Structure 1
Amino acid sequence: MKAIYFFVSLLALASSFASVYDPNPLQDFCVALNDTQNAIFVNGNICKDPKVVVAEDFFKHVDPGNVVNKLGSNVTPVSVNELPGLNTLGISLARLDFAPKGLIPPHTHPRAIEIFTVVEGTLFVGFVTSNQNNTNHLFTIVRNKGDVFMFPIGLIHFQLNMGYGNVVAISSLSSQNPGVITVVNAVFGSTPPISPEVLTKVFQVHKKVINYLEKHI
């Protein structure tokens, strides 16, 4: 009998923790404000009246992306902005197109796990762990048509088409607004720019190299 009471108490305690747990943020930051005139709605979009919802609210056709660019790749998002029915459901998608040798450079999604499915072609993919024990371990693998691979939340990852044909993949993300931080853009293309004094010390290169990279990002 005591065991039953203990189990019930444990469930009640777990329920109390669940009821006060904050939802994951859907934006980079949310500054507290006591002025309602200058406040905005966060963690989702305002909902449409169910009486006027139509089937088209849950449908989106995705065309192939234009891969004629310096990276030879294109990401076509399918978020709540493109598919309104996704609002509050905690998921978003993207279609990824690669030209031969096309690359999606190292980046991270601060608010989402990514499940990556190769639809056509072959990709070299990888991610880097956080610096546990002062080591950033790299996991890489070649994936083919029909293969699924996952990138843990917040970790830097990339995808490269190593072949001579086009590649198509679908990315499923565990957030309505996963966010994306492309490493090189964030470091060398921020507004305003990061101080050259910081970057020259980090990369141990001359300021001219930093200026060159900032100019070309």
Structure 2
Amino acid sequence: MNEKPGLPRGQGKIIPPSHRNFFTSNYDLYDKLYISISHTSHTMKAPISRELVYLSLWENPETRIARLVEVTGLPYAYVHRLIRRIEERGAIVNISGHVKLIDKRTLLHIWAEDKRRILSIVRPFRIELLPYSVRDAVLFSGTAGMWVLGKTATPAGGILYIKESDLEDIIKARNPEGYPFLLYFYSDLFFKWTVERRGFKLPSTGLLLADILAQGEYSRHFEELCDMLVG
């Protein structure tokens, strides 16, 4: 049974049994999170197919389409169409299925364009946290990543990526005196390529920069950050 009574058919997603024991002793928080996760199938889980390809390209700037298919688990036809789109923008060259990333900044702008659409349609779970209490379980990105890099005074409003299996630990760390963050579930592949700064984990530099551009508030620092992180 995947739906909560009272919700329209197809809109409810039950919190896994492993998480229910915790929430049954905290009904207000359970209801808030249940509604946030259950009300729409898009909540917290982003449509990340394109991002999987962008990430794999960023981390493997010389590769083959067949390898991208293997790493991302996406259909060959889908990856091939996306590679053609990226090539038309001048970010890569593709010679008989052998792909080379030649313009990282252009790829970042393509990535950010898609990420803006994702952020506009996917509702995150908003939660107050103290950064040090969750630093081993999340990736700090967007404005939160800027804070880790020492470029902003506060991480408030930043993006935190988590694995669905870590949800209960994150909720336990909720603190009304903490900063407000935007919480998203992301694929394990995004946790494969990370960077550590000041004891905090950042996602791949490509994802971090794309998020900063997509969130917009600090996009004016994009070139400075590119020079610092990409070269």
* TM, length-normalised to structure 2: 0.22
More helix by share: 2
TM-score of the pair, normalised by structure 1? 0.23
